[in-house]
Amino acid sequence: MKLQKYCHTNISSVFDLPQLYTKPSFSALSAALESLKLKVVSWDAVETEYQPKEDVNAIAAYLTKIVSNSLSWLSEDEQAEVWEEASSRLSERSGRTGKPLSLFEPLRTQV
């Protein structure tokens, strides 16, 4: 069985990401959210590139701002896609408690 760990992205600062007050394009926001996706790395892999520690609070705040923003300059379909991606990136950083409930996962109840 291979063990895996999650590796953070190469974003060194939240200021490197497109800022919402500039009304970035859909493609710019999509690229930024893609860059924030957590990468799964095998324990067997050799880490060859330096990965700076990301400011988890700043990135969580950035993602929360995207989710809470109306994104009025984008079309409705683009808004929905950006909100969904930002929500996914936020839940990835929330651990098990942020994992969406699977339809096939039984609910656990207290007896």
Report yes or no on 102 lying in a domain: no
pTM, whole model, 2 decimals? 0.68
Report yes or no on 105 lying in a domain: no
Give the tens place of pLDDT for each residue, 37-59. Answer: 887 666 666 655 545 566 788 89
Task: Residue 30: name the closest of 84, 101, 98, 107 by CA.
Answer: 84
Report yes or no on 67 lying in a domain: yes
56 φ, ψ to 5°? -60, -35
Report yes or no on 107 lying in a domain: no
Report yes or no on 83 lying in a domain: yes
What Rg do the C-alpha atoms of the chain give, in angstroms? 16
Q: What is the domain range of residue 12? A: 4-95
> What's the pLDDT at 4?
33
Report yes or no on 55 lying in a domain: yes
Report yes or no on 52 lying in a domain: yes
Q: Give the total number of structural domains in the chain.
A: 1
Report yes or no on 101 lying in a domain: no
Indicate the average pLDDT of the chain. Answer: 76
